[in-house]
Amino acid sequence: MNILFCSAGRRVELLKDFRKSLNADDRIVAADLSNIAPALYVADAHYLVPRIDSPDYIEKIVDICAKEHIDVITTLIDPEIEILAKNRSVFDKMGITVLAPYERTAALCFDKYEMYKELVRLGIPTVDTWDGYEDAMVAINDGKIEFPVFVKPRTGSGSVGARKVDNAQTLAELCSKDKSLIVQKLMDGVDMDADVYIDTISHKAVSAFSKRKLETKIGGASKTISFKDEKLFDFIRKIVDAFEFNGPVDMDFFYNDGTYYLSEVNPRFGGAYLHAYGAGVDFVKLIKNNVNGIENKPQFGNYEEGIVMMMYDSVIITKVDNITA
Q: Please confirm whether the linkage preceding 125 is cis (ω < 30° from 0).
A: no
pLDDT band at 156 (very low <50, low <70, confident <90, very high): confident
CATH number at residue 14: 3.40.50.20
pLDDT band at 178 (very low <50, low <70, confident <90, very high): very high
Domain edge (last residue) among 58, 84, 99: 99
**Distant-in-sequence, close-in-space partners of 306: CB < 8 Å, separation ≥ 6:** 225, 226, 227
Domain edge (last residue) among 81, 99, 117: 99
Residue 115 lies in a domain: no
CATH number at residue 165: 3.30.1490.20
Same domain, 75 and 179: no
Nearest to 30 by CA among 51, 47, 11: 47
Same domain, 31 and 68: yes
Same domain, 225 and 238: yes
Residue 317 lies in a domain: no
Q: Would you state the pLDDT for residue 54?
A: 98
pTM value is 0.95
Residue 325 lies in a domain: no
Give the sheet arrangement for strand 163-165, strand by strand.
129-130, 181-185, 149-153, 163-165
Residue 31 lies in a domain: yes
Total number of domains in the chain: 3
Same domain, 53 and 88: yes
pLDDT in tens, 130-150: 999 999 999 999 999 999 999
Domain with 59 in it: 2-99
Query: Phi, psi at residue 170, to the nearest 5°?
Result: -65, -40
Same domain, 260 and 212: yes
Residue 67 lies in a domain: yes
Nearest to 82 by CA among 59, 53, 62, 55: 53
Q: Would you state the pLDDT for residue 219?
A: 65
Mean pLDDT, range 26-48, rounded to an integer: 98
Mean pLDDT, range 268-274, rounded to an integer: 96
CA dihedral 62, 65, 70, 71 (to 10 degrees): 10
Same domain, 192 and 290: yes
pLDDT in tens, 198-254: 999 999 999 999 999 999 876 678 999 999 999 999 999 999 999 999 999 999 999
Same domain, 201 and 228: yes
Residue 315 lies in a domain: no
Which range has the worst mean pLDDT, 83-97, 156-170, 227-241?
156-170
Residue 316 lies in a domain: no
DSSP 220-282: EEEEEEEE--HHHHHHHHHHHHHS---EEEEEEEEEETTEEEEEEEE-S--TTHHHHHHTT--
Pairing of strands 45-48, 259-266: unpaired
For 169, the 3-state DSSP assignment is helix
Cα atoms in the 13 Å half-sphere on the side-chain side of 4: 27
Same domain, 169 and 268: no
For residue 308, CA distances in Å to 128, 224, 254, 263 come to 30, 6, 19, 22
Residue 118 lies in a domain: no
Same domain, 10 and 70: yes
Cα atoms in the 13 Å half-sphere on the side-chain side of 50: 12
Cα atoms in the 13 Å half-sphere on the side-chain side of 282: 12
Q: Would you state the pLDDT for residue 230?
A: 98
Give the containing element (helix H, strand E) for 164.
Answer: strand 163-165
What CA–CA distance (Å, rounded) separates 52 from 36?
Answer: 17
pLDDT in tens, 283-318: 999 999 999 999 999 999 999 999 999 999 899 898
Domain edge (last residue) among 143, 170, 185: 185
Kindly report the average pLDDT of the chain as a whole number. 96
Same domain, 236 and 270: yes
CATH number at residue 195: 3.30.470.20
Same domain, 176 and 224: no
